[in-house]
Chain A
Amino acid sequence: MKHLDEYRDAEIAHRLAAAIHSEAANSGRRYRLMEFCGGHTHAIFRYGIEDLLPANIEMVHGPGCPVCVLPTGRLDMAIRLAKRVGVILASYADMLRVPGSKGQSLMKAKADGADIRMVYSTLDAVKLAEANPDREVIFFAIGFETTTPPTALAIETAAKKGLTNFSVFCNHVLTPSAIAAILEAPAVRELGTVEIDGFLGPAHVSVVIGSQPYEFFAEEYRKPVAISGFEPIDILQSILMLVRQLNEGRAEVENQYIRAVTRDGNVRAKQAVSRVFELRRDFEWRGLGHIPYSALRLKDEFAAFDAERRFDEPYIPTEGIKACECPAILRGAKKPTDCQLFGRACTPETPLGSCMVSSEGACAAYYTYGRMREAAQ
């Protein structure tokens, strides 16, 4: 894997770490940097990147984990849809173990007899619908901008094929809205947030949307952004870029991930999304609350493929487990180890909160890769 080895090279990592140390050591300030994306959180722990950073740089874990931010009420809807007679619910595997309300999950519903199939791509769900013309196939669509274009293509494909038994339960959400919510929404401020000095911008999301949407945050909120790849060298280099910007009083969008991200992103993917989807007036996020225009829904012309309109399944908001700190963790206000349930009642085997289920959730990353640090304290 030559191409990957370059981005995991120990010598380059040590050189970057040394540069970060020399830039950050004598500034007399703290650097609180939020990696928005769960993929970055995962990589930071998997490679032990924090071990290479000076003590005055703190990585704050953001809400960029689609499994984690989906509110329980939406998962309950998916479970109810799956339990309908004649329905096949096609889902990405990540969703199966996420706890809904009352201890329910798709995995348990599957064991109870609901027909839930794991798919690796949206087109597999379309194929399922073709192969089962007497069944209703519902694709449980979740994710940020990375997974949205494939859902749009699946809907267009189903339309072109004239399928009448395929629909999408759409839970696609938008990255810029979540960043804005963290920075400005009064509701979020009331819930308590942390001061964030700069952002590590998402890798795959930015491949689609480009670097341009972040320019607003840099200008308006004076927060530097460095769009970063997922490899350890990418992350270290991006941290160095943010430290330099902060030391020099700059607040710009810098693109470390130039091998994949352009300013405009993937134009064709964005076009596919805008052909099929429109902004949803309101969407509830776990941890961030209701954020206006932060998610997508199917346009009226594709209403026949919209599971929410087709099956008239109501959204019933539910209260999460009281002691669960997922909401505060998703805002970066608390660390997983601040939660009383972490590692005791809530583990990857018995997850109570969404941040413990997804491998990209901050709690799962702490638990799986980093809990020796807590034990050492």
Chain B
Amino acid sequence: MNITSRPTRLAARRLDLAAGRVDLTHGAGGRAMQQLIEEIFRPAFDNPILARGDDQAAFDVAAGRMVMSTDCFVVSPLFFPGGDIGSLAVHGTVNDVAMSGARPLYLSAGFVIEEGFPLADLQRIAMSMGEAARAAGVAVVTGDTKVVERGKADRLFVNTAGIGVVPAGVEISGGRARPGDAILISGTMGDHGVAIMAQRAGLEFETTIVSDSAPLNGLVADMVAAVPTIRVLRDPTRGGLAATLNEICHQSGVGMRLDEAAIPIKSEVLGACELLGLDALNVANEGKLTAIVPATDAARLLSVMRAHPLGRDATMIGEVIADPARFVRMATRIGGERIVDWLAGEQLPRIC
């Protein structure tokens, strides 16, 4: 049932948020579910559209181009340094919408909860989502919860979908990169993935690495306002910068040449990657973007990015080149050359 349903006071006792757990009645469409919505989700997301309590969110449609995106979140562990599945679910979809140059407006939120999940954790995650949405300037306007039997899901899965409006004159797509364009990134690579991997059960590895999970719509708004000629924006999440740049090369039918020495990677991230046998360029980011612009606009865009807190370490890392083979090449630090490829399969640690 929909979490936008009418608010009514149905239960005699409040949820035991300290020690209680989600059980199957919380997904059965009855009073227990209503109570879960009333006491956990509605306070966390509180906004006028949700408060109307209808089965759908109603809002006026802006003139011009709208964009929509959806993403599922199954991250493990649910809580990690720098965020949790809730804030990540907001940032992920906000960023996907923003990578069109759009201003994200509304989100939906869907929850698949495994029976036995602690109510305290659910509340903490919902609050974190609400906080992340407010910070990003978007509203969670509709949602849904389902509870499945123990073993049928891993604790909690979250889906978010988002809608946004593209400013007039902005035309951003992965297919628009042209030879000669400059490739910029907004900051250090690999922080999120390494923060998660260091936390994973079975990997007893101490580090201070914090996820970079953050909403990029503010940074993007500054960028498109100052430099509307931006051709491509993309956030290098799963598969890291390597996957993102390869996607763009394939969509645009071009190649790229990068300079390894120009790509910023935190020394702790680099150290963890060495230990785990990973390449930071294959590791996920959740608060970084890559931008492709005509070379003549690169310096101006870079200064706009650096003026924003989430783009302080922005830098130019290479250029788009003509290449029928669509390779992403990189001049290595020591002066050799190699390909930066998509990752095959899961990124696995080396054994010797």
Contact = CB atoms under 8 A, between A and B. Distances in A.
Contacts of B336: 47-52
B351 A147 contact: yes
B339 interface: yes
Interface stretch (B17-25, B59-67, B138-146, B340-348): B340-348
A321 interface: no
Contacts of A347: 344
A93 B348 contact: yes
A255 to B, nearest CB: 19
B13 interface: no
A94 B333 contact: no
B337 interface: yes
Contacts of B350: 39, 94, 359-360
Contacts of B202: 119-120, 124
A371 interface: yes
Contacts of B325: 372, 375
B1 interface: no
A369 interface: yes
B203 interface: yes
A142 B350 CA distance: 12
A349 interface: yes
A344 to B, nearest CB: 14
A2 B332 CA distance: 18
A322 to B, nearest CB: 24
Contact of B270 (A1, A47, A48, A93): A1
Interface string A356-377: 0001100010011111100100
Given A39-B352, A120-B202, A348-B345, A13 B339 contact: no
Contacts of A364: 344
B335 interface: yes
A51 B337 contact: yes
B334 A232 contact: yes
A244 interface: no
Interface residues of A, number: 51
A14 interface: yes
A372 B339 contact: yes
Nearest to A49: B336
Interface residues of B, number: 30
Contacts of A93: 346, 348-349
Nearest to A367: B341
Contacts of B352: 39, 66, 143-144, 146-147, 204-205
B327 A369 contact: no
Contacts of A368: 339, 341, 344
Given A1-B267, A144-B352, A47 B338 contact: yes
Interface string B273-301: 01001010000000000000000000000
Contact of A51 (B333, B335, B339, B341): B335
Contacts of B329: 372
B260 to A, nearest CB: 9
Contact of A52 (B270, B279, B335, B341): B335
Contact of B332 (A47, A97, A124, A348): A47
Contacts of B271: 1, 4
Contacts of B327: 371-372, 375
A365 to B, nearest CB: 10
A372 B335 contact: no
Contacts of A55: none
Contacts of A143: 351-352
A152 to B, nearest CB: 15
A14 B334 CA distance: 7
Given A4-B274, A124-B202, A348 B344 contact: yes
Contacts of A94: 348, 350-351
Contacts of B58: none
A16 to B, nearest CB: 9
Interface in A325-377: 347-349, 359-360, 364, 367-372, 375
A8 interface: yes
A92 interface: yes
Contacts of A67: 351
Interface in B130-169: none
Contacts of A309: none
Interface in B234-291: 261, 267, 270-271, 274, 277, 279
Contacts of A13: 334-335
Contacts of B333: 8, 10, 47, 232
A93 B278 CA distance: 13
Interface string A83-126: 00000000011101100000000000000000000011000100
Nearest to B348: A93
A372 B337 contact: yes
A204 B352 CA distance: 7
A84 to B, nearest CB: 22
A310 interface: no
A46 interface: yes
Output the residue of B261, B271, B335 with the most chain A CB within 10 A: B335
A45 interface: yes
Nearest to A44: B336
B189 to A, nearest CB: 14
B338 A92 contact: no
Contact of A48 (B267, B334, B344): B334
Contact of B341 (A142, A232, A369): A369
Nearest to B337: A48
Interface of B: 202-203, 261, 267, 270-271, 274, 277, 279, 325, 327, 329, 331-339, 341, 344-346, 348-352
Going nearest first, the 5 A-B pairs with the smallest beta carbon separation are: A48-B336, A348-B344, A13-B334, A51-B336, A93-B348
17 contacts: A1-B274, A4-B271, A14-B335, A45-B338, A47-B333, A49-B334, A52-B335, A120-B202, A143-B352, A147-B352, A232-B332, A232-B334, A236-B334, A368-B339, A370-B339, A371-B327, A375-B325
Given A93-B346, A369-B338, A372-B327, 18 more contacts: A8-B333, A10-B333, A10-B334, A13-B335, A39-B350, A47-B333, A48-B331, A48-B334, A51-B337, A66-B352, A67-B351, A143-B351, A204-B352, A232-B333, A232-B334, A360-B350, A368-B344, A369-B341
